Structure 1
Amino acid sequence: MGEKAENHKAMLERYGQRLKDLDPELVTEEDEIALKEAFMHAKEVLEPGELVSWFTVKAEPFYRSGSWKMLLTLYEELLDIAEKNLGPESPGTATALNGLAGIYRYMGNYDEALRLFSRALEIREIILDQKRPETGDTLSELGTLYYLMNRHEEALSFYSRALEIQEKLLSPENPAAVRTLNRIAFLYKGIEKPEKAEELFTRALEFLDKLQDQEPDNRGVMSHKAGTLNNLGVLLSEMGKLEEAEDRYGQALKLQEKVYGPEHPQVAQTLNNLALLYFQTTRYEKAMILYTRSLEIMEKLGKTEHTGFATTLNNLAGVYVQKGRHEKALELYTRALEIRERILGPDSPDVAKTLNNLGELHRILGQHKKALPFYTRALKIYETTLGPAHPDVGTTLNNLAGLHESMGEYDTAINLYEKALDIIEKEYGPDHPYFKITRNNLIGLYEKMERSWRS
């Protein structure tokens, strides 16, 4: 090996150390630079087949962290190298196609993702044994693509084919069947079949229990189990099974702290989920403690310019509202609004949510003139981004009507309540709690007006 090649090898080893055991939740810009530099040196040192295998492993944390633009360029180059040196129908080319397709899928280019996944599947089914894990992986990825395209029957077909392969190959080193079961559960959750989703999450946990019996301290298995418990907890919470949800969150938190330590984004997310459950069950002190701990974790990790951080600020502010600590709530809502505006832009529906909350807080404080512009701006954002008949428009109209009622502007309030009722009834029907709340608000206003006329 010449001096130049030795230098490339040394640099590859140096950057390889930087990329070793990267946590997807903690990937930095410096890590992205390290991967690009390592790839440049790997091209000079590794054979094309080795390069594909090496890059697929090293790219995985970046793939999961959402570093799509950076990976897109590298995967395109990798595919070009594989096709030219290994052939267009080789297993290495299929691996590169599969990786690139996943990036296009998450960037929203579904047509290109479908073309690349289909080509990868064709190669893997013909060249490789149809029952190999790689084939199952591509089938599962296609299932997710079809789900995102709202083609649910096709998604289920591909997921079923994937599971048929993956269940037979299930091991602590290959928990792909667990991932696919979680994906199918999310599909059923998305099409409002929560009982079926619960069944699938439970089945995934049964698989994980068997794997943990084989290797009790396998970090990958524990990580998948924590994630599945968290997913099930969210589902159970939405189904109103709050005690069961609390139990699942507790199990997830215990596993995550064991795998990642007490200060990790995954821990922060589970704390958020559990805090929301405590908020829903009026255990405000517990909710406040968990939201605060979650914020402290994110701040220590430097993840304050993040939509999740803003959401936690927003939710903690809601706890302070319930406890009557309005100044603290105002501070947190304002901070959440500033972060969301910077990251998402001034016209995002998430920005409108915080505007609505600020409007409600000022209304509670009797500061009607301050509340009005927050509600008005939120309404305009919702109408523009979601359409004039969206339920969030109805909710905001209801809030705005309540404000005008508090200001004594009854005719305006009646008009807004009626608009809100029309939207909410079309979306949810007359038996939904949102409809009943708005209708009761309107009835209450009419009764108030009638009493004032009598007096």
Structure 2
Amino acid sequence: MGDLGRALPLYQRTLEDRERVQGTDHPDTLTSRNNLAYAYLTAGELSRALPLFECTLEDRERVQGIDHPDTLASRDNLAGAYETVGDLGRALPLYQRTLEDRERVLGTDHPDTLASRNNLAYTYLTAGDLSRALPLFECTLEDRERVLGTDHPDTLTSRNNLGGAYRRAGDLSRALPLYERTLEDRERVLGTDHPDTLASRNNLAHAYLTAGDLSRALPLFERALEDCERVLRPGHPMTAGVRASLKHARST
């Protein structure tokens, strides 16, 4: 719900209580440490999130083993935290190792393996390495459609991400249909007010703007802003981003 003011104290207390009652090395305690780190990351408190992710990975490797699914999840989470702070030099090797390990331990079709493939592709895209990002996005979408189904939220995320990669590559003829389909599917599957649906509406508006189609872009930006202001918490980053995009589109 985005109510971090209530979530953080609960995560903090749960971690303290689990450390006291179950011990610092209990798997549930390690899960609490991971959850608190993720909440700090969501709140933008990176100076608190990163050390927690790092120590949780170290502890899980020691207590549960390097191949345990929870350890692989911690490695993936730490990579995501490094990516958030812009440290791609640390994020990429962790994502690459996690994908290799998940393929070996969980199998190539496991949902966590597919998530790792998507995360690695997204990091390549962030690094500007389209030659690696695009094939990974394409195969991840194909695999998720086959394994999870065309309407699964993760499949819709892959479709959205592939559209973004094509847009970044300047291939609007491929990007626009993917964005249009993703918005339609998310409205149908997740509902018109789901945050992912709002993101799709904003992404499609951006693609129309890039294509020079202001007659389609402006109404989408306006609706996306109205919906974000109504649905999301005050000061949400997505709302600020949509507002800036609408302002830019109106000045174009």
The question of a shared fold, defined as TM-score above 0.5 by the shorter chain, is answered with yes
Q: Is the 8 A contact 2:95 2:116 kept in 1?
A: yes
TM-score after normalising by structure 2? 0.91
Deviations 1:98-140 (A, max 9, x none): xxxxxxxxxxxxxxxxxxxxxxxxxxxxxxxxxxxxxxxxxxx
Q: Is the 8 A contact 2:14 2:32 kept in 1?
A: no
What residue identity is the alignment partner of 1:229? R
Aligned to 1:388: 192
What residue identity is the alignment partner of 2:7? K
Aligned to 1:364: 168
Aligned to 1:349: 153
The runs of 5 or more residues in structure 1 that have no matched partner are: 1-188, 213-220, 449-455
**Aligned counterparts of 1:421 and 1:205: Cα–Cα separation in 2:** 43
Instruction: Kindly state the Cα deviation for residue 345 of structure 1 after the two structures are TM-superposed.
Output: 0.7
Aligned to 2:7: 193
The runs of 5 or more residues in structure 2 that have no matched partner are: none
Deviations 1:134-186 (A, max 9, x none): xxxxxxxxxxxxxxxxxxxxxxxxxxxxxxxxxxxxxxxxxxxxxxxxxxxxx
Number of corresponding residues: 250
> Per the alignment, do residues 273 and 430 of structure 1 end up closer, same or farther by CA in structure 2, a change over 3 Å counting?
closer
**Aligned counterparts of 2:236 and 2:54: Cα–Cα separation in 1:** 32
Report the RMSD for the aligned CA atoms in angstroms. 2.1
Aligned to 1:406: 210
Structure 1 residue 227 corresponds to structure 2 residue 31: yes
1:318-329 superposed matches below 5 A: 318-329=122-133
Q: Is the 8 A contact 1:278 1:286 kept in 2?
A: yes
Aligned to 1:111: none
Aligned to 1:130: none
What secondary structure sits across from 2:60 in the alignment? helix
**Aligned counterparts of 1:267 and 1:303: Cα–Cα separation in 2:** 16
Structure with larger Rg:
1
Deviations 1:285-324 (A, max 9, x none): 2111111111111122242211111111111111111111
Q: Is the 8 A contact 2:102 2:112 kept in 1?
A: no
Deviations 1:369-395 (A, max 9, x none): 110111011111101111223232221
1:18-417 superposed matches below 5 A: 192-209=6-23, 221-417=25-221
Larger RCO (CA within 8 A; separation ≥ 6) = 2
**Aligned counterparts of 2:133 and 2:188: Cα–Cα separation in 1:** 28
Instruction: Kindly state the Cα deviation for residue 429 of structure 1 after the two structures are TM-superposed.
Output: 5.5
**Aligned counterparts of 1:255 and 1:430: Cα–Cα separation in 2:** 37
**Aligned counterparts of 2:28 and 2:152: Cα–Cα separation in 1:** 32
> Per the alignment, do residues 235 and 443 of structure 1 end up closer, same or farther by CA in structure 2, a change over 3 Å counting?
closer
Q: Is the 8 A contact 2:80 2:91 kept in 1?
A: yes
Q: Provide runs of 4+ in structure 1 moved above 6 Å.
A: none
Q: Is the 8 A contact 1:391 1:423 kept in 2?
A: no
What residue identity is the alignment partner of 1:207? V
